[in-house]
Structures are given as C-alpha cells and as structure tokens.
C-alpha cells in the first residue's frame, strides 16, 4: 500500500497527482521550492515540504534534497510527475535506498530508456524500426555522423525529452553553433550535455502509443498524435491519431507493446514514433518512462485514470485491465496554454495572471494550476494549463474546441491561446492528420 | 490544508449544464478557501468560462512582474526577457564577446536562460563592447542593462 505520497514536482501535474491520490485515500506531501510555496498545488496538497530555493537545480532537480524532504516527511512513495527527476535512474535508486517506492518503472528501464542511444539498441533488439544516426562526442564526430545522415539533421540530447536540447540543422556551416546551444540546453535541463545525431524526416508525423505494464503483462491504450509542435515541443495532441490507416495504427500499437514486453515494462509509459506522412512507414524514437503532459486525451477516450494505474502498479499490484477491456470512445484534443508570446518567437512570458477565465462545460476538461492572481515564475517551464475537449467524433471535438477557445480569457501574461485559435480554424487541422511542418504553414 | 474538497471538473460541467437550462447568466460561489464564477459568454454560440480565485494565492511577492526596469542607459543592450544571463555558450567556453570587440546588430553577445531554454541575446545594433555590466550567471529582469556599447563602429 501507499499511504503517504511525496510529489516531487510542481504546476498542473502536481495538482493532477493530488486529485487521484486524494480519491484513493492517499495523503499527499508536496515538495515545493521557495518560489512555489504559495502556489495552487501547495494550497491543495495535504502537506508541503520545502525542497530548496527557486532555481530548479537547487530544488526540484536536487536528488539529495528531494529524497531528504520525502524521508523527513515520512512518505512511503514518491511520484516524480514529468520532467525534472522523473526519468532519472539515480533518483529512483536514491528513493529506493531511502525505503520508499518510486512511482515509475524499474531502475534498469530508466537506465535503458533515459539514454536515448541505449533505447535505440533495445528497440532494435525488440525488432522495432529506428532512424539512421548515432552518438557523437566532439564537433568532429558530429560532422562525421552528419556526413552519414545528410542534411537536414536533428541534434538531440542523449538524456533528453520535451524538446530541450534539440536543434534542427539545415547546413554544415550551422552545425558548430547549433551543437554548442544544444549541449548547453541539454546540460541545463538534464545535467548531461551529451547529444546525438539523427536523420530529419521532412514530412513526418509524431504518433505515440500509451502503454501500461506491470512487469509481466503489458497493454496499450491506443495512439496519440502530437505533430503540431514548435521548437520540438508539443502544442496540440489528440487521441486517437487521426487520418491513419487501420493497418498502420495496428502495426504501431503492436510494435509499442512488443517493446514493453521485451523490457518487462512496469508502470505507465509512452512509445514515440515518427511516422512518414506520405507512406505511413514508422520509426521508433523513444520511450518516455513516465506520465506524459498529454495523458488526458487518452484518459478521455478510454476512461482509464492513468495516474491511478501508476500508483496501483507502484504498490506491486498486477494490472486488472486487459487489452480487450480498452475500448476507446470518441475523439479528444488537448491544447497546451503556455505563458509565451506566439507573436515574438514564443518568448517566455513569466508574470502574474490578473484574470484566468478557463472554458467550462460538458466535454471540457481543464488541467491548470493557474487561477486569478497565479504566479508564473521565470525559473520553470511555461505550461500554465491544458484545455482538453472530448467529442463523439473528431468533428464534434473540433467544434467544441473552437467554442472553448472563443471563451478562454487569460490576462496579465502573453499566452499561446491566440495561436491555438488560428490552429483550430485552419482547414488542414480541421481535416486532420497534419505533419510536423504544420505550424510553418499557418496563416498569420 | 485540504479538508473541504474543491469542486471537480465533473462538478463544474454539471453547474454549466444546469445554467444552460436556466435563465441565469452566471453563478458566483464563495467559500473560505475559494471563489468560483461560472459565466455564460456573450453571443448565441458562446461557451461558458470558469474563474477561480484562491484565498492563499497571489500573496507571494511578484518578483517576475515587478522586475521590468526601464533601460535608462541608451548605450546598453538590455535583457530581452527575465532569466539568468550567461557570457558563454557553456561553462568553460570563451565568452561570446569581450571588451573591445566590434559587434553588429545580429551578433550574439550572451544568453538568457529562461524556463530552461537558452535565448540568444543579439546586440541589436553596431558598436564596440565598452563594458560587460552584469557578471556571468546573474539573474536579470527584462530590460536590465547587460552590456554597454561605445558608439557605432566606424
């Protein structure tokens, strides 16, 4: 059993975990930095524990401080949320060494999947297709890899996720500068500057599969499409992936389950694939060994509470769900409302929210930690809330989405809401099945 | 801290469903811990909104909002956004610019790290670096002078 759960995260995902934990009768202790002491999650948790000063390197990313705070609070489990230490094997090991359960996969899985190159090898061993590329330590080695993959190419953080430390490079002469930036971002975000090189697919779609495993059994909860991205960060996600032939969808889902079984996956995870938009050939990208930002669209169509499943598996319980029990219903779309100015190259816009009128009503879910007077500190990422709509068909969901966006009103900081209104009105989006180049072709 | 349960998303959806069938435009609910307003938008096809206000929220000093300094130094390059200012692309690397360097509008003179993203700081105009005003790794507010340029380059 888990009785006292330490939440090693902040923002909307901290609130999301609190909600399910409370429903399950679990007491929550939220680790907070100095900057988050008066946040909404801090207000909603049963207890709070200070983990350090505002900068995340000294608070949310400090293994020592987070584990010490969880131990001192007498917790028996730690939920890491997403980002921060969620996929850090050393953190999971420290949590275990302190006598607490880690709500996430086994340490061996984190080691295998946290290193994207090791993940490639595991995927190949499980029989999944991958893109050409590989690791490169020095600028010279990167140049050599680039000669193999050709241009354009992608530089990615070995320890990465969430688009941090990722750069597209179109010409050889831009490589050195992009490499320095990618390495600096990788260092700042993950404490590991290593990057690798991968071929860039021009007309690609980003399709992922939600997985659940208990170490023995594994099943999938269908696909999500996350092709609408900027700076390789997802902005819009939907479930199921639209405009995908049944054969391709089935093959992708089966490949994901094959990988989960191959590694004896425990907990909730997501296998990400790059799908060629022209012929639906697919390549394994990575397995995110944690809850995803976009998990609500899967929850909307399957009715499964993924955080609850994570907690049950962490308690050592076998999955009670089977593949035939997963019957996706309708279509769900999520839009990420970030404190960023879409008219100024998505410049982060920290500050105080003076008004937060979020959409409400049947078929609408809002996951946010920002209410009136809410603070968006400059220390953390810019996600301030997620708008999720669920309709009987994709067309219903798109209609509901446009209506909800029409009523959404955030004042005090710039947000991506204006961009989302343009996306929701774009004929290509309304038709469905766009590729990752969608945003570049959006009318101003 | 959290004895009285806040309303769930399902509760809010139910409130909207009730309002939708009623002649009322909004519902304003206040408890010791929160205030919730559910409002019908203007126009025929308008949706509903939910606005929450929490008793505990908003009490923190708003360092982020208060920090914007008017760039009163016309020869200085100001921080384009709040964050941590770095002189070099990574620890140990040589700085982007040093005193005496000639820069053009597109020259990168530093990086401001905000929300874990590295944002290059461009000089914005031509000139010669006269003084680096802020030490490496300093938290800066938007508009804070970072680097002073001496006149336009010849």
pLDDT at site A161: 67
CA quadruple A397, A402, A404, A405: dihedral positive or negative?
A: positive
Q: Is the ipTM of this complex over 0.85?
A: no
User: Could you tell me the fold of the domain covering A132-199?
Assistant: Dna Ligase; domain 1 (3.30.1490)
Place of tokens 């811990």: B33
Both tokens assigned to A319: 């999955």
pLDDT tens digits, one per residue of A314-343: 999 999 999 999 999 999 999 999 999 998
User: What is this structure's pTM?
Assistant: 0.80
For residue B34, being part of any structural domain is answered with no
B106: how many CB neighbours lie within 10 A of its CB? Answer: 10
User: Is residue B68 within 8 angstroms of chain A, CB to CB?
Assistant: no
User: Is residue B124 within 8 angstroms of chain A, CB to CB?
Assistant: no
Of the ranges A83-87, A291-295, A336-340, B105-109, which one carries the lowest mean pLDDT score?
Answer: B105-109
pLDDT at site B92: 83
Q: How many residues does chain A have?
A: 444
Look at residue B52 and give its three-state secondary structure.
strand
For residue B117, being part of any structural domain is answered with yes
| A237, pLDDT greater than 80 | yes
Average of per-residue pLDDT values in chain A: 94
pLDDT tens digits, one per residue of B59-104: 332 332 222 233 457 778 988 888 899 999 888 888 999 999 999 8
For residue B97, being part of any structural domain is answered with yes
pLDDT at site A162: 65
Q: Check which CATH number belongs to the domain holding B76 and give it.
A: 2.40.50.100
For residue B29, being part of any structural domain is answered with no
Task: Give the pLDDT band (50/70/90) at residue A63.
Answer: very high
pLDDT at site B59: 35
Tell me what the mean pLDDT of segment B115-126 comes to.
81
Tell me what the mean pLDDT of segment A9-34 comes to.
97
Q: State how far the Cα of A393 lies from the Cα of A436, in Å rounded to an integer.
A: 23
Domains held by chain B: number: 1
For residue B43, being part of any structural domain is answered with no
pLDDT at site A390: 98
Cβ atoms B37, B112 nearer than 8 A: no
Domain spans of chain A, in order of start: 4-103, 132-199, 204-441
Closest residue in B to A404 (Cα) is B47
- Of A101, A249, A290, A336, the active-site residue reads A290
For residue B154, being part of any structural domain is answered with no
More confidently predicted of A441 and A77 = A77
More confidently predicted of B24 and A114 = B24
pLDDT at site B70: 32
Q: 3.40.50.300, 3.40.50.20, 3.20.20.70, 3.90.400.10: which CATH number matches A4-103? A: 3.40.50.20
More confidently predicted of B116 and B147 = B147
| B57, pLDDT greater than 60 | no
Closest residue in A to B51 (Cα) is A357
Residues 6 through 35 of chain A touching chain B, CB cutoff 8 Å: 18-19, 22, 35
Question: Catalytic site residue A290?
Answer: yes
pLDDT at site B56: 62
| Residue numbers in A near B48 (CB within 8 A) | 359-361, 407
Interchain contact, A357 vs B49, CB within 8 Å: yes
| A357, pLDDT greater than 50 | yes
3-state secondary structure chain A: CCCEEEECCCHHHHHHHHHHHHHCCCEEEEEEEHHHCCCHHHHHCCEEEEEECCCHHHCCCCHHHHHHHHHHCCCCEEECCCCCCCCCHHHHHHHHHCCCEECCCCHHHHHHHHCHHHHHHHHHHCCCCECCEEECCCHHHHHHHHHHHCCCEEEEECCCECCECCEEECCHHHHHHHHHHHHHHHHHHHCCCCEEEEECCCCEEEEEEEEEEECCCEEEEEEEEEEEEECCEEEEEEECCCCCCHHHHHHHHHHHHHHHHHCCCEEEEEEEEEEECCCCCEEEEEEECCCCCCHHHHHHHHCCCHHHHHHHHHCCCCCCCCHHHCCCCCEEEEEEEECEEHHHCCEECCEECCEEEEEECCCEEEEECCCECCEECCCCCCEEEEEEEEECCHHHHHHHHHHHHHHCEEECCCCCHHHHHHHHHCHHHHHCCCCCCHHHHCCC
Which range of residues forms the domain containing residue B112?
68-149
User: Percent of chain B at pLDDT above 90?
Assistant: 26
User: Is residue A43 within 8 angstroms of chain B, CB to CB?
Assistant: yes
Interchain contact, B115 vs A378, CB within 8 Å: yes
User: Is residue A416 within 8 angstroms of chain B, CB to CB?
Assistant: no
User: Is residue A355 within 8 angstroms of chain B, CB to CB?
Assistant: yes
Q: 3.40.50.300, 3.40.50.150, 3.10.20.70, 3.30.470.20: which CATH number matches A204-441? A: 3.30.470.20
Sheet holding A167-169: strands in order across?
A133-135, A195-199, A153-157, A167-169
């Amino acid at each position: 059993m888990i009785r006292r759960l330490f939440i090693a995260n902040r923002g909307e995902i901290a609130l999301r975990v609190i909600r399910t934990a409370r429903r399950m009768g679990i007491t929550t202790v939220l680790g907070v930095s100095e900057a988050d002491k008066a946040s909404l999650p801090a207000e909603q948790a049963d207890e709070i524990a200070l983990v350090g000063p505002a900068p995340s390197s000294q608070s949310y990313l400090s293994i020592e401080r987070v584990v010490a705070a969880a131990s001192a609070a007498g917790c028996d489990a730690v939920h890491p949320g997403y980002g921060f230490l969620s996929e850090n094997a050393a953190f999971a090991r420290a949590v275990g060494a302190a006598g607490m359960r880690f709500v996430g996969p086994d340490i061996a899985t984190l080691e295998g999947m946290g290193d994207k190159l090791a993940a490639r090898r595991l995927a190949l061993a499980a029989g999944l297709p991958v893109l050409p590329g590989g690791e490169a330590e020095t600028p010279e080695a990167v140049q050599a890899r680039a000669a193999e993959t050709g241009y354009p190419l992608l530089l990615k953080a070995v320890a990465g996720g969430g688009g941090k430390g990722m750069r597209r490079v179109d010409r050889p002469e831009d490589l050195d500068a992009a490499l320095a930036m990618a390495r600096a971002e990788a260092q700042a975000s993950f404490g590991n500057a290593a990057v690798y090189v991968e071929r860039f697919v021009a007309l690609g779609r980003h399709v992922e599969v939600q997985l659940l495993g208990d170490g023995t059994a594994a099943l999938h909860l269908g696909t999500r499409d996350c092709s609408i991205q900027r700076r390789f960060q997802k902005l819009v996600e939907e479930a199921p992936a639209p405009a995908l032939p049944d054969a391709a969808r089935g093959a992708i889902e089966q490949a994901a389950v094959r990988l989960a079984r191959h590694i004896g996956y425990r907990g909730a995870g997501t296998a990400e694939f790059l799908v060629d938009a022209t012929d639906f050939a697919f390549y394994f990208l990575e397995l995110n060994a944690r809850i995803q930002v976009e998990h609500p669209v899967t929850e909307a169509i399957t009715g499964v509470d993924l955080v609850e499943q994570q907690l049950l598996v962490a308690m050592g319980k076998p999955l009670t769900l089977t593949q035939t029990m997963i019957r996706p219903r309708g279509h769900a779309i999520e839009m990420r409302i970030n404190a960023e100015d879409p008219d100024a190259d998505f410049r982060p816009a920290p500050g105080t929210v003076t008004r937060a009128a979020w959409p409400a009503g049947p078929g609408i879910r809002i996951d946010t930690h920002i209410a009136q007077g809410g603070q968006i500190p400059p220390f953390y990422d810019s996600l301030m809330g997620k708008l999720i709509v669920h309709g009987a068909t994709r067309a219903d969901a798109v209609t509901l989405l446009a209506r909800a966006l029409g009523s959404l009103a955030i004042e005090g900081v710039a947000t991506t809401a204006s961009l989302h209104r343009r996306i929701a009105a774009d004929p290509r989006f309304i038709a469905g099945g766009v590729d990752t180049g969608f945003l570049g072709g959006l009318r101003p | 801290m959290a004895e009285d349960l806040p309303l769930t998303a399902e509760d809010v959806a139910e409130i909207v469903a009730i309002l939708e069938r009623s002649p009322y435009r909004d519902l304003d609910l206040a408890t010791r811990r929160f205030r919730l307003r559910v409002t019908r938008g203007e126009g025929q096809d308008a949706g509903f909104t939910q606005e929450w206000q929490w008793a505990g929220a908003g009490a923190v000093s708003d360092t982020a909002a208060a920090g914007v300094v008017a760039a009163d130094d016309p020869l200085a390059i100001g921080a384009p956004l709040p964050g941590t200012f770095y002189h070099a692309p990574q620890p140990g690397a040589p700085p982007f610019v040093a005193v005496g360097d000639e820069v053009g509008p597109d020259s990168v003179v530093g990086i401001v790290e905000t929300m874990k993203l590295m944002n290059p700081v461009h000089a914005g105009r031509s000139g010669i670096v006269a003084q680096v005003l802020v030490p490496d790794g300093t938290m800066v507010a938007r508009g804070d002078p970072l680097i002073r340029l001496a006149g336009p380059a010849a």
